[in-house]
Amino acid sequence: MSASIQFNSEKSVKKDNTLYTKFTYENSIVETSEAGAFSVTPTAIDYQFKVDLTTPKTGLMLVGLGGNNGTTLVGSVLANKHNISFETKEGVIKPNYYGSVTQSSTIKLGVDQGGNDVYAPFNSILPFVSPNDFVVGGWDISNANLAESMKRSQVLDVTLQKQLYPYIEQITPLPSVYYPDFIALNQKERANNVSNLKDGEVFTGDKWADVEKVRKDIRDFKEKNSLDKVIVLWTANTERFSELIPGVNDTADNLLEAIKSNHAEVSPSTVFAVACILDQIPYINGSPQNTFVPGAIELAEKHKTFIGGDDFKSGQTKLKSVLAQFLVDAGIRPVSIASYNHLGNNDGYNLSSPLQFRSKEISKQSVVDDIIESNQILYNKEKGDKIDHCIVIKYLPAVGDSKVAMDEYYSELMLGGHNKISIHNVCEDSLLATPLIIDLVVMTEFLSRVSYKKASESDDKYEDFYAVLSLLSYWLKAPLSRPGFKPINGLNKQRLAIENLLRLLVGLPVNNDLRFEERLA
């Protein structure tokens, strides 16, 4: 149950279930001379924000519905919705959404009269869609019903699975899009729920027809379930990277033509993305491949459709985005990061193929890029200073969904000293990834209800956020950013941006920890 909060701010006013807020965005513009001198000028822009406070009936369509993440997501929603508890050797487990920021974390509201921090549930600040109310469907290359898929995934406790079976035995994924060249050959046996192959091997279909099929699937799902909104999220296998080719996927028009001509470098995930973009259905990529080629981003801009990605940031990489930032902010110079993983689920099986592993390697390596660039004392850009970053992923069936991650951070201290931090992390992969799916969907839906305009503009036309939802970067390894802008990977910066957005929308000042109540005489 969400806390009851009354915001007493002159900056916000509620009218007809819509919240209107005034906010002054303050920043500093920095100019750098050739000699390296900085000229810093404070800036301020007045904005007006509008939030629709009505939460819509929301559908979630997963690409990869029958996989580990898909079945765990469905199971978690049903367990919480129907209040299903289950017994393990450690006692009775009540349903919860641990690991979800929107459902299980808090935000600082301010301080009490004694100067002590006061926190409230994240989802009590403004109205958010509850995951209990998600209507879930989707596609999969396997035709197994969700009861069979859940059993195959070996993620949830058996006593919970048995209670969930009556709800999921009749759910079968829609046939998905499958181009064998994009995922590992070892996935071929699972691909028995596709309509574009001959004898299960040869692509004989029409990629534009696949786009139209996905569009129809979404429209039918929305109509059948009387939904206000649908969000589509890719949680299927990691694909190989698509080659970026001028004249093929570099512009929106070229990409559409490439799909219609069945070009080999158009991936299934891009087909899903284009289908969603054309109908203004938000689309999130939870895997590391380059789904959003430049043409797809331009298409999203044209159709003003929200997109987000790439690759769920759950365990090892999330920790890396904190620890690397800590070291650099402390003036310590990391010189190498060695990351080793082994896991035994189907994700690991698919990643045992070199091309698919390369996609994952790229997304995991990029997490420290902006951290390096933040400190020119430790890393000289002109000399090409960087962190030696090695990533290894091995498939080991025995460990199942429990991913084992071992990291070594080797850093340089003052006067030739060195520091080595070694971390051994064992995590249940899908039980970390599933809360990320929940948060990505909840936040995407919420951001679709927020609009803004500059206070200096005389008309009453409010604009939506830019198509690429970089505010989702907290949950993603290789966050997508607006072309021309560098992504932010530091976890604390990502989280602070989300908190401050919610605060400004209810008329509160952006958060700080100056704590003058304590520090000033």
Q: Which residues are identified as catalytic?
A: 311, 360, 403, 477
Strand order in the sheet with 418-428: 388-395, 333-343, 402-412, 418-428
- CA dihedral of residues 192, 193, 195, 200 (deg, nearest 10): -10
Phi, psi of 277 (to 5 degrees): -60, -40
**C-alpha span between 244 and 254 (Å, rounded):** 12
**C-alpha span between 354 and 245 (Å, rounded):** 21
Query: Which residue's entry shows tokens 């989802």?
Result: 123
Give 77-82's long-range contacts (Cβ < 8 A, gap of 24+). Answer: 77/131, 77/132, 77/134, 77/136, 78/164, 78/167, 78/168, 79/160, 79/163, 79/164, 80/131, 80/132, 81/132, 81/133, 82/167
The enclosing H or E element of 425 equals: strand 418-428
Residue type, 488: I
Whether the Cβ atoms of residue 411 and residue 419 lie closer than 8 Å to each other? yes
Instruction: Kindly state the tokens that stand for 302.
Output: 């044209």
Local structure of residue 312 (DSSP, 8 states): B
**C-alpha span between 389 and 280 (Å, rounded):** 38
Closest CA to 193 of 121, 143, 230, 154: 143
Whether the Cβ atoms of residue 191 and residue 106 lie closer than 8 Å to each other? no
The SS3 assignment for 354 reads helix
